[in-house]
Amino acid sequence: MEIVFNKLSLIENKNTNKEIKYLDNVSLTINEGSIVGFSGDNISVISNLLMVIKRPSKGELKLDDLVIKRTSHINNINMLRKKIGVLDTKNNFVTKSVKEEIKLVMKNYEYKTKNENQHIVDSLKIAGLSEDYLDRNPNELSMTEKKKFNLACLLSYNPEVIILEDFYKGLIYREREYYKKLFLKLKNKFKKTIIILGNDLTFMFNLVDNLYVINKGKVVVSGDKDIFYKDELYSYLEMPKIVEFTKYAQSKDHKILEYTDLKELIKELYRNVK
């Protein structure tokens, strides 16, 4: 699914002391099968727009051939929401077992498979949970387990677009690296479009194809992977440690390239050790 913001503005309580300028005349394109990051102010609005919970004040949002404007009518909004999955970490689960909850999600999104039980187990494993969780009460899981379980629920109905907000929070390094590899596989092998909302550039660093930074409704910084080595980005967000190290080394006249892969940086350091 190609996603296009065309001169899109979303402003609430305009010209009052409660005015919120979420987006102001924003134009950008999210290509199908890409991983895109949004950082900065009020970035939750991205998922609200894509799920048509909020509508543009001006301009338009295009989702393939569907055009969403302030007053446009959508014939089948449920069909749209089958294609776009938002990982919701605020869910209150309605069943008493992980297995039954995923079954309910699949039913609600009308997703059918020949072997439902195996599909549920596979969804759990891909999301980082074993089949030992099948009979657990989802409301009794830890916050991190709930996050992984929510991802399993989302993967179970196979949306085209996956939206993750602050997904990295609470994950240890090994888990973060696992999910980076998973998201890259979903993109490269299955052509999923993945949108990451959050301000942790360390997580996004060697993951996103493009990054957009929103400040007071404007896209103030944007670019591909090379943007992480441009100083303008760090007027708004904290610098990843790998970038901080590389810039420090370069300031000391060490000829270190600007890597976006930590393993490649380590190899470069090893080659240059004297």
pLDDT digits (tens, 9 = 90+) for 100-118: 999 999 999 999 999 999 9
Res 269: pLDDT: 57
Using an 8 Å Cβ cutoff, are 49 and 34 in contact?
Answer: no
> Coil, strand, or helix at residue 163?
strand
Using an 8 Å Cβ cutoff, are 104 and 95 in contact?
Answer: yes
pLDDT < 50 regions, the chain: none
Hey, what CATH class is 3-239 in? alpha beta
Res 239: pLDDT: 87
What's the pTM? Answer: 0.89
Using an 8 Å Cβ cutoff, are 121 and 150 in contact?
Answer: no
| Whole-number Å distance between alpha carbons of 51 and 82 | 10
| Whole-number Å distance between alpha carbons of 153 and 3 | 23
Res 75: pLDDT: 80
| Whole-number Å distance between alpha carbons of 207 and 25 | 27
To which residue do tokens 């810039």 refer? 247
Give the start-to-end residue ranges of the domains of the chain: 3-239
Angle among Cα 161, 164, 167 to the nearest 5 degrees reads 150
Q: Looking at the chain, list the stretches that DSSP marks H as alpha helix, in order from N- to C-terminal side.
A: 44-50, 77-83, 98-108, 116-126, 143-156, 173-188, 201-204, 241-251, 262-272
pLDDT one-digit tens code per residue, 9-38: 999 998 889 899 999 999 999 999 999 999
Using an 8 Å Cβ cutoff, are 82 and 158 in contact?
Answer: no
Closest CA to 225 of 217, 233, 236: 233
DSSP 8-state symbol, 232: G
- What does the buried/exposed string (b/e) look like for 87-110 if buried means 16 or more CB atoms within 10 Å of the residue's CB? bebeeebeeeebbbbbbebbeebe
How many CB atoms within 10 Å of residue 128? 18
